[in-house]
Amino acid sequence: MKIHLLFALVGLAISFALATFAQQTNTSDQQLREQHVPLGKKVEEAFNNNDAVALAALYTEDGIKVTDQGPMHGRQAIEKWLAEVFKTLHPKNYIDKIDSLRIIGTADNIAANGEWSQTLQGKNGEPISVKGYWAAIYVREGDDWKCRLDAFNLTPDSWALIYKSFGLSAATPSATTTPSSQ
């Protein structure tokens, strides 16, 4: 009888501890989201102003950006790539939505993912609405959050619009093909 009572008390204690931990985790997620609102605004502002310098400054010095053209290593390479994108496609109306944030190890390292959309300028100046998904790893540097790793994609419909605008011969790419491998 005493052993059953002991197990019941231990089970009750564990359930209270798990509930408390779950509350702390939810609070932590909310705090992470609140901390990332300013970062998200900076990203949107830099994209909408076609400001490669400001956007690249949000990456760590050794940051990596993975694109359909391959990875860019380091803030300077990312800035150079962004400047070319801005010069060619003139993106605007950039909107970023965070789907999830997860702490990785310590609260100074988080993984995030979400959706994005923006309007590009086609070959003849026409607007092209594109969208896709992204994933990133952020690290805290002092009081700021910086992106250490960023990867994104375009939806097949977005690729089709880009191909059509620029008069490219390929149809909608398959999920396993990219323009650089066709």
Does 78 map to a domain?
yes
Q: Residues 148, 71: contact at Cβ < 8 Å? A: no
State the pLDDT at residue 32. Answer: 73
Q: What is the DSSP letter of 177?
A: -
Amino acid at 21: F
What is the H or E stretch that residue 106 is in?
strand 106-121
pTM: 0.75
Per-residue pLDDT of 119-157, as tens digits, reads: 999 999 999 999 999 999 999 999 899 999 999 999 999
Q: What is the CATH number of the domain that holds 59?
A: 3.10.450.50
Count of the separate structural domains present in the chain: 1
Which domain range does residue 99 map to?
A: 38-181
Does 16 map to a domain?
no
Does 132 map to a domain?
yes
Per-residue pLDDT of 63-120, as tens digits, reads: 999 998 899 999 999 999 999 999 999 999 999 999 999 999 988 999 999 999 999 9
Does 23 map to a domain?
no
Does 14 map to a domain?
no
| Range in 31-35, 49-53, 145-149 with the lowest mean pLDDT | 31-35
Does 25 map to a domain?
no
CA distances from 110 to 113, 116, 175 (A): 10, 19, 28
Q: What are phi and psi of 136, to 5 degrees?
A: -150, 155
Give bridge partners of residue 116 from the DSSP assignment.
96, 132
pLDDT higher than threshold 90 for residue 177: no
Within 10 angstroms of residue 15's Cβ, the number of other Cβ atoms is 10
Does 9 map to a domain?
no
